[in-house]
Chains A and B, each alone.
Chain A
Amino acid sequence: MFPLSLHNYFELLALACSIIFWKCISNTPLKWFVPFLIFIVTVELTGRYIRTELKEMNAWLYNFTVPVEFLFYSFIFFMHYHKKRNRTLVKIFSALFVFYTLAWLAFNGTEFFNSNMLLIGYLFMIIFSILFLVELYNKPGMVYLTREPLFWIAVGLLLFSAGGLSYALLTRFALLNKLDQGSSIFRSINQYLNLLLYLCISISFLCRKDLKTSRQTL
């Protein structure tokens, strides 16, 4: 299990930042990152333990936890969106995503990882991030991008999801042709993308300008 992967340290860094800057984020929706990052770190370490120590498949774990991640980020965007249309889109996506995930698990069980869920999640995270950035662009008056915590989260999520999209698009092809047995390609790409994502999340806690949600400040 040890040493941990590089991205695990970045997850721990993000968690540490969220705890250190708790006072600054405690009155904002970003406070939910503390339990979320505890959850992420626990899941990642558990998954790693199952794979490296128990030498067992950990797909079942991610079948439950990946949807939670996407839903969490959707919730964060929902809290920050100014436009009602965007908030409605998040609501619809969340409801359909939960329904789809549960239906897939009911029909396919937990043994194999649901790669379609990853593809859908990535696509919507890209859409939500872009929608947020566009809202930020249209915000009247002076906008200090680098001082907007959710800008960093949106950037991290956009890069993470866009980077993962190419693999997610080819997953079925790879499985059918046994091109990525042991998911080593997926893991290597995902490691760097996770590194980017959690680095951006860590930076977002350092930007203490926006103590309210963007929706409140717009």
Chain B
Amino acid sequence: MQKGFEDIKANFINHVYAGTIVFVALCILFIFFLYVSIKRRNRMTLEADETKKQFQETLLQAQLEIQEQTFKSISQEIHDNIGQLLSLAKLNLSRYEIDGQMSGESLLTTSELVSKAAADLRDLSKTLDTDTIAGIGLLRSIETELQLVEKTTAIKTSFAVEGSSVLLQPQHELILFRIVQEALHNAIKHAKPNLLSVQAVFNDHKLQLTICDDGTGFDTTSTNSFGSGLRNMKARSKLVGAGWQLTSNAQQGTCIILTIPLNQHHDNNSIGR
């Protein structure tokens, strides 16, 4: 102890300077860590804001695209289906104009044609409802979309749900629906499929959405294979926290598998529709 005091006495200046330097260095270290932490936090806040902004933009874009796709389908449906039905009905009626009489069978056929056209119009009006996805949910929206595809094209569709369905956040449902819609219409446009199928599998932790076609397929290893549509789908999947997987082989069709973690999206107050 005495020796220690003697040492301090002998090197008093050095001890004081050393103490000063140590204390100041500790403070500088503290300030440096504070500065770095706050800077990192600022960067994370900026990134979060940017993601939020990007999400809103994508949501808006998806809404516009859904609307555009719906209009296209409706236009096609009116032209190919309702238009044809009404033309046939008009043809039947024009016979009455010429002959002044109409058989019971012909009248019945005309009535059936008009009824069919009215029913199709009712179905179409449902798809025009902009709140469809929010109102009826993702699964029913996909089902309606598949029905519309089947009506407007010669392609068969199938839809299957496994497990207890869970309601997702409305914005996420909208984006997921747009991904499914884009996948279906991509297949129709490029793959010449005979069958389009969508499968939704729910379990405790995730929802797996599989969109498959039996069309021409393509080589996924080719650099040109990823068009803007596929890139868009992939980016949108990432935005809603969904895993995105694509499998395709020439002449064996294409499958897109979306894996959505349910703990992020699950609404505790809701039960599947």
Task: List residues of chain A with CB under 8 Å of any chain B CB.
Answer: 130, 133, 136-137, 141-145, 155, 158-159, 162-167, 169-170, 173-174, 177, 179-180, 185, 189, 193
Contacts and interface: CB of A to CB of B under 8 A. Distances in A.
A130 B12 contact: no
Interface stretch (B19-27, B233-241, B244-252): B19-27
A177 B31 contact: no
B94 to A, nearest CB: 72
B34 interface: yes
Given A130-B30, A189-B16, A189-B17, A137 B23 contact: no
Given A130-B30, A155-B31, A170-B15, A165 B42 contact: no
A17 B240 CA distance: 52
A39 B37 CA distance: 37
A166 B22 CA distance: 9
A143 B24 CA distance: 24
Contacts of B22: 166
A173 B9 CA distance: 9
Given A159-B24, A162-B26, A174-B12, A133 B31 contact: yes
Contacts of A189: 16-17, 20
A111 B28 CA distance: 36
A187 B42 CA distance: 41
A162 B23 contact: yes
A166 B20 contact: yes
A208 to B, nearest CB: 20
B75 to A, nearest CB: 48
B24 A162 contact: yes
B38 interface: yes
B8 interface: yes
A152 to B, nearest CB: 11
Contact of B12 (A143, A163, A180): A180
A166 B19 contact: yes
Contacts of B34: 133, 136-137, 145
In the A-B complex, the 8 residue pairs with the closest CB atoms: A166-B19, A162-B23, A179-B12, A162-B27, A163-B24, A166-B20, A163-B20, A158-B27
Given A130-B30, A162-B27, A179-B9, A142 B42 contact: yes
A165 to B, nearest CB: 5
Given A137-B34, A179-B12, A185-B13, A169 B24 contact: no
B45 interface: yes
Interface centre among A130, A158, A169, A177 (most CB of B within 10 A): A158
Contacts of B31: 133, 155, 158
Contacts of B28: 159
Contacts of A159: 24, 27-28
B42 A143 contact: yes
A202 to B, nearest CB: 18
B35 interface: yes
Contacts of B42: 142-144
Contacts of B38: 136-137, 143, 145
A165 B9 contact: no
Contact of B16 (A130, A145, A170): A170
Contact of B23 (A133, A163, A179): A163
A185 B16 contact: yes
A165 B38 CA distance: 27
Contacts of A167: 16, 19-20
Contacts of B19: 165-167, 169-170
A66 B230 CA distance: 71
B166 to A, nearest CB: 32
A128 B23 CA distance: 16
Nearest to A171: B16
Interface centre among B19, B39, B46 (most CB of A within 10 A): B19
Interface centre among B24, B34, B39, B46 (most CB of A within 10 A): B24
